[in-house]
């Protein structure tokens, strides 16, 4: 019988609890703001003997992911956490972890990238590795950071998936703010995540195996990459299955896209992570004024749920896509490009605008969200073009 | 240590058919070191990107008859840290039988160890993982075409320390990696050579049997990069020792011990240099002072090791 504890907790606390409850075998990590309290909390579990985890206090994030690759290839359940420059330093290893088809769960406390140096929340770090082959989830709240983290283990280690998963939460806003959270009892969680059954581990298998082999010209590099593309494309139903199974236990639904009042909406904002709350508040205010506003929050970012995004947006007169990072030199920010491409693929030429917002932790004010919705009305009326703009800069 | 007949009957972990060059010192080093693991011990090997890696694991083939992992260039030590941590965790939960013993060994070249992998190595040594790390030192980035590394000797030619009118080869002396490793105060660190096989197998055996981190820096000559004929690899390794170019020593629990060159075996460093095309320019008229500088550096380092050995 599931037993729930209600507590006030930060997102980082909840991620640390999720890792503890998942009975992680190896956790190799390096401190970086605003992720640090995840590994600090975990180090305390280790010191107190509450977990059997081998905690590898590595000398860099590059080594954190390198050790995670080694541990996962050996057959262990592996988790780690990072942010910002740390994620950037791991870049080489992110591609290797995915290319070697190794289940690893990594929490990322989404934070700005230098320069200039800035420790606050945005999505520049995570968007830099959106094409690395990892499955990527975005949490809006501390509760969802917990839920996503648990779901991640089921997905990563699923025999039909075998891919690394990033469970992300916005720096400071979600990592550090206290919220009302529900913590499931350990036994129920362990039963939900199950045991990892590794394929071709370095030891404990029937014979010697090779991981990270050389596939140059005449090898099978091209075919292996095609197989990797198929693996992430085909992971979607297993992600939904894992989310549904957790929803059954927790009572909290799991959808790739949380389409809030999108059914009849004329003007929709697409958003990832913590800014969804403010967006819904403004949309509610506009609805009171008779303007049909909606919010489509993307929870699963990779593989990109194009079908679900289009389903949410298809009836809109204008769509604003909020991007908490820029794709410098491209027509739109990363989410803008994804959403526009999805609409085009379905033959929907709904006018869009792309808003870069909240970089380096800049406030996402209600006024700024109001401005975006106001512009969408002008856009629908043909009074504004579809360009990219920075929202809320001084 | 087992005798040579027993060693000759030990199952090879790196088997024939690989694509390393004839006369390559790296494969000789691996085979000699693996003899130190014990005939029946399970070993997991990790290779850094480099000649050994690309030449032994080209899909769909593998030359390793043991479990193998390659990750990237600079992180063999960190990768094997994770493997060893997994072994401990799986043992703690009973997923690996309590009486099952597995040894862990990493191989990196001098580029992957002295240079790009030094941080990863230092971290792993400080954490004290139960593993052996081997640097097979051929004194340059041979896999990418003989570029200089911090292990390349003073005044040596390499493709990024070219010999010309303005500069006569690499202007800097070699990095003293063995001492850097020893300064981590790990239980076992040694420098050895494939030209002294008995000593190397003996040191490998000690390294494998040492609980905690152990390190071997092994001279592994490269005929292509050093510019000599393939059949001379062992002879040149022996010259490296006899000319004091490559001192052989170990640091066991803080105690330094060296294998001194016997007076009757001692040769001037020219004997090592002249056997190799990478030092050919040193023998042009007017360059005698460069050889003198190398001799001085070699003597200074040898004396330093001697002082450490008390």
Going by C-alpha positions, the residue among B235, B226, B227 that lies closest to residue B195 is B235
Q: Which residues of A181-213 are buried (b: 16+ CB within 10 A; e: fewer)?
A: bbbbeeebbeebbeebebeebbbbeeebbbbbb
| Alpha-carbon gap: B67 to the closest alpha carbon of chain A (Å) | 4
Q: Mean pLDDT lowest for which of A18-27, A214-223, B271-280?
A: A214-223
Q: What does pLDDT average to over chain A?
A: 97
B255, burial (CB in 10 Å: exposed 0-12, middle 13-18, buried 19+): exposed
- Chain centroid to CA B158: 19
Choice between B190 and A1, residue whose per-residue pLDDT is larger: B190
**CB–CB of A69 and B71 under 8 A?**
yes
- The answer to whether the Cβ–Cβ distance between B71 and A93 falls below 8 Å is yes
Strands B102-109 and B132-137: what pairing? Answer: parallel
Distance (Å, whole) CA A317 – CA A78: 45
Residue A46 in contact with partner chain B when CB distance is under 8 A: no
Distances A181 to A6, A149, A170, A246, B90 between C-alpha atoms, Å: 6, 14, 17, 15, 32
Q: Using a CB–CB cutoff of 8 Å, tell me whether A257 touches chain B.
A: no
Whole-number Å distance between alpha carbons of A131 and B257: 52
Looking at residue A218, its pLDDT comes to 79
The secondary structure element, H or E, covering residue A78 is: strand A78-82
The alpha carbon of residue B280 is apart from the nearest alpha carbon of chain A, in Å, by 35
Distance of residue A53 Cα from the nearest chain B Cα, in angstroms = 6
- pTM comes to 0.98
Q: For residue B44, what is the nearest residue in chain A, using CA coordinates?
A: A202
3 state DSSP class of A274: helix
Query: Is residue A1 predicted with pLDDT exceeding 80?
Result: no
Q: What is the pLDDT of residue A173?
A: 97
* Cβ <8 Å between B53 and A25: no
What per-residue confidence (pLDDT) applies to B1? 73
Chain A contact for B29 (CB, 8 A cutoff): no
CB A298 within 8 A of CB A272: yes
Out of B42, B65, B119, name the one closest to residue A60 (CB).
Answer: B119
Domains and their CATH numbers in chain B: 4-308 (3.40.50.970)
Average pLDDT value for residue range A256-271: 98
Residues of A in contact with B102 (CB under 8 A): 203
Cα of A58 to nearest chain B Cα, Å: 6
- Structure token digits, residue B15: 């088997």
d(CA A115, CA A118): 8
**Mean pLDDT across A143-155:** 98
Helix A11-21 and helix A186-193: axis angle, to 10°? Answer: 70
Give the residue with greater pLDDT, A267 vs A217.
A267
CA distance A333 to A329: 9
B138/chain A closest Cα distance in angstroms: 22
Question: What pairing do the DSSP bridges indicate for beta strands B102-109 and A293-298?
Answer: unpaired
Question: Chain A contacts of B80, Cβ < 8 Å?
Answer: 70
**Tokens 């956790």 belong to residue:** A27
Which residue does chain A place closest to B117, by CA atoms? A63
CA A39 to chain CA centroid, Å, is: 18
Q: What is the mean pLDDT of residues A17-32?
A: 98
Nearest to A74 among B74, B87, B123 (CB): B87
Say if CB A38 and CB A9 are below 8 A apart.
no
User: In terms of C-beta density within 10 A (0-12 exposed, 13-18 middle, 19 or more buried), how is residue B173 classed?
Assistant: middle
Predicted local distance difference test score (pLDDT) of residue A273: 98
A79-93, A196-210, B248-262: which range is least confident on average? Answer: A196-210
Structure tokens at A71: 């541990």
pLDDT score of A300? 98
Residues B177-202 have pLDDT tens digits of 999 999 999 999 999 999 999 999 99
Q: How many CB atoms lie within 10 A of CB A381?
A: 11
Is the pLDDT at B219 greater than 70? The verdict is yes
Residue of B11, B78, B119, B125 to mutate, interface with A, max A Cβ within 10 Å: B78
Q: CA A363 to CA A357: how far, in whole Å?
A: 8
Give the model confidence (pLDDT) of A323-363 as tens digits: 999 999 999 999 999 999 999 999 999 999 999 999 999 99
Q: What is the pLDDT of residues B24-66, one digit of tens each?
A: 999 999 999 999 999 889 999 999 999 999 999 999 999 999 9
- What is the tens place of the pLDDT at every residue in B115-134? 999 999 999 999 999 999 99
Element (H, E) at A371: helix A366-380
How many residues are given for chain A? Answer: 394
User: Would you say residue A150 has pLDDT above 70?
Assistant: yes
Within 10 angstroms of residue B244's Cβ, the number of other Cβ atoms is 22
Q: Strand, helix or coil at A34?
A: coil
- pLDDT grade for A217, boundaries at 50, 70 and 90: confident
Whether the Cβ atoms of residue A181 and residue A9 lie closer than 8 Å to each other: yes
CA atoms within 13 A of residue A209's CA, in its CB half-sphere = 15
Looking at the predicted structure, is the pLDDT value of residue A147 above 90? Answer: yes
Q: What is the pLDDT of residue A299?
A: 98
Q: In this complex, which of A26, A208, A212 lies closest to B82 when CB atoms are compared? A: A26
Vertex B190 angle, CA A63 and B130, to 5°: 45
Nearest-angstrom CA–CA distance, A53 and A78: 9
Which 3 state secondary structure label does DSSP give A97?
Answer: helix
Closest by Cα among B108, B83, B123 to A60: B123
Q: Which residues of B touch A197 (CB under 8 A)?
A: none
CA-to-CA distance for A81 and A64, rounded, in angstroms?
Answer: 9
Question: Any idea what DSSP says for residue A272?
Answer: -
| Torsion sign, CA atoms B58, B61, B63, B69 | positive
Backbone angles phi, psi at B252, to 5 degrees: -110, 115
Strands of the sheet with A257-260, listed across from one edge? A257-260, A293-298, A267-271, A318-323, A352-357, A388-391
Phi, psi of A196 (to 5 degrees): -75, 130
Closest among B150, B153, B195 to B177, alpha carbons compared: B150
pLDDT tens for residues A356-379?
999 999 999 999 999 999 999 999
Domains and CATH numbers, chain A: 4-250 (3.40.50.970), 257-391 (3.40.50.920)
Q: With b meaning 16 or more CB within 10 Å and e meaning fewer, what string describes A52-62?
A: ebbbbbbbbbb
**Residue A74 sits at the chain B interface (C-beta within 8 Å):** yes
Q: What are phi and psi of B289, to 5 degrees?
A: -65, -25
CB of A219 within 8 Å of a chain B CB? The answer is yes
Instruction: Give the gap in angstroms from C-alpha B78 to the nearest C-alpha of chain A.
Output: 5
**What does chain B look like in DSSP terms, one character per residue?**
---HHHHHTSPPSB-S---PPTT-HHHHHHHHHHGGG-TT-EEEEEE-SSHHHHHH-BTT---BSS-EEE--SS-HHHHHHHHHHHHHHHHHTTSS-TT--EEEEEEEEHIIIIITTHHHHHHHHHHT-S-EEEEEE-SSBTTTTSB--TTSPTT--BTTB-B-SS-BS--SPPP-HHHHHHTTT-SEEEEEETTSHHHHHHHHHHHHHSSS-EEEEEE---HHHHTS-GGGHHHHHHHHHHTTSS-EEEEETTEEEEEPPPTTT---THHHHTT-GGGGGGGSTT-HHHHHHHHHHHHHHHHHHHHHT-
d(CA A294, CA A267): 6
> A239 falls in which pLDDT band (50, 70, 90)?
very high
């Amino acid at each position: 019988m599931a037993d729930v504890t209600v507590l006030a907790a930060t997102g980082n606390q909840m991620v640390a609890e999720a890792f503890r409850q998942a009975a992680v075998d190896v956790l190799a990590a390096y401190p970086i703001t605003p992720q640090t309290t995840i590994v600090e909390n975990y180090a305390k579990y280790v010191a107190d003997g509450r977990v059997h985890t081998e905690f590898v206090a590595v000398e860099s994030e590059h080594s954190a992911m390198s050790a995670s690759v080694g541990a996962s290839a050996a057959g262990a359940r592996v988790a780690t956490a990072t942010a910002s420059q740390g994620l950037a330093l791991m870049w080489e290893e992110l591609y290797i972890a995915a290319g070697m088809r190794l289940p690893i769960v990594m929490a990322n406390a989404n934070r700005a990238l230098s320069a200039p140096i800035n420790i606050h929340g945005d999505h520049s770090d995570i968007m830099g590795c959106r094409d690395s082959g990892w499955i990527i989830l975005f949490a809006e709240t501390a509760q969802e950071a917990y839920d996503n983290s648990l779901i991640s283990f089921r997905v990563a280690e699923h025999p039909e998936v075998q891919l690394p998963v990033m469970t992300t939460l916005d720096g400071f806003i979600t990592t550090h703010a206290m919220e009302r959270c529900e913590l499931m009892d350990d036994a129920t969680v362990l039963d939900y995540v199950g045991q990892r059954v590794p394929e071709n581990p370095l030891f404990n298998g029937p014979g010697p195996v090779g991981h990270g082999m050389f596939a140059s010209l005449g090898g099978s590099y091209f075919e292996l990459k095609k197989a990797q593309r198929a693996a992430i494309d085909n992971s979607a139903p297993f992600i939904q299955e894992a989310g549904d199974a957790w929803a059954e236990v927790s009572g909290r639904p799991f959808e790739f896209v949380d389409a809030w009042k999108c059914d009849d909406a004329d003007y929709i904002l697409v958003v990832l992570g913590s800014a969804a709350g403010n967006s819904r508040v403004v949309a509610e205010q506009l609805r009171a004024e008779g303007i049909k506003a909606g919010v489509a929050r993307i929870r699963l970012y990779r593989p990109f749920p194009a079908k679900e995004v289009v389903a949410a947006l298809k009836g809109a007169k204008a769509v604003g896509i909020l991007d908490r990072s820029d794709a410098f030199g491209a027509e739109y920010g990363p989410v803008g490009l994804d959403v526009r491409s999805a609409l085009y693929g379905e033959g929907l030429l709904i006018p869009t605008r792309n808003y870069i917002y909240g970089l380096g932790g800049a406030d996402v004010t209600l006024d700024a969200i109001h401005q975006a919705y106001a512009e969408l009305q002008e856009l629908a009326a043909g009074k504004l073009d579809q360009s990219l703009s920075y929202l809320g800069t001084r | 240590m087992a005798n040579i007949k027993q060693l000759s009957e030990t199952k090879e972990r790196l088997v024939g058919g690989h694509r390393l060059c004839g006369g390559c010192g790296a494969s000789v080093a691996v085979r000699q070191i693996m003899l130190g693991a014990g005939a029946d011990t399970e070993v997991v090997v990790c290779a850094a990107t480099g000649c050994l890696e690309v030449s032994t694991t080209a899909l769909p083939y593998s030359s390793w008859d043991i479990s193998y992992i390659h990750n990237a260039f600079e992180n063999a030590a960190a990768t094997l840290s994770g493997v060893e941590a997994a072994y401990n965790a799986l043992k703690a939960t009973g997923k690996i039988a309590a009486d099952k013993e597995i040894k862990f060994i990493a191989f990196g070249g001098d580029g992957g160890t002295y240079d790009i992998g030094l941080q990863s190595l230092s971290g792993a040594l400080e954490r004290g993982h139960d593993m052996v790390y081997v640097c097979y030192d051929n004194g340059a980035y041979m896999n990418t075409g003989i570029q200089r590394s911090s292990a390349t000797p003073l005044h040596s030619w390499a493709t990024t320390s070219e010999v010309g009118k303005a500069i006569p080869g690499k202007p800097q002396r070699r990095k003293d990696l063995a001492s850097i490793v020893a300064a981590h105060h790990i239980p076992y660190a040694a420098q050895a050579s494939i030209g002294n096989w008995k000593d190397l197998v003996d040191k490998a055996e000690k390294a494998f049997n040492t609980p905690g981190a152990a390190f071997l820096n092994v001279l592994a000559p490269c005929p292509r990069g050093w510019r000599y004929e393939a059949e001379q690899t062992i002879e040149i390794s022996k010259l490296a020792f006899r000319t004091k170019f490559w001192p052989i020593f170990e640091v066991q629990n803080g105690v330094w011990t060296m294998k001194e060159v016997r007076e009757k075996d001692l040769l001037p460093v020219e004997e090592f240099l002249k056997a190799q095309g990478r030092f050919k320019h040193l023998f042009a008229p007017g360059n005698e002072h460069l050889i003198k500088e190398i001799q001085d550096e070699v003597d200074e380092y040898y004396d330093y090791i001697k002082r450490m050995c008390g």
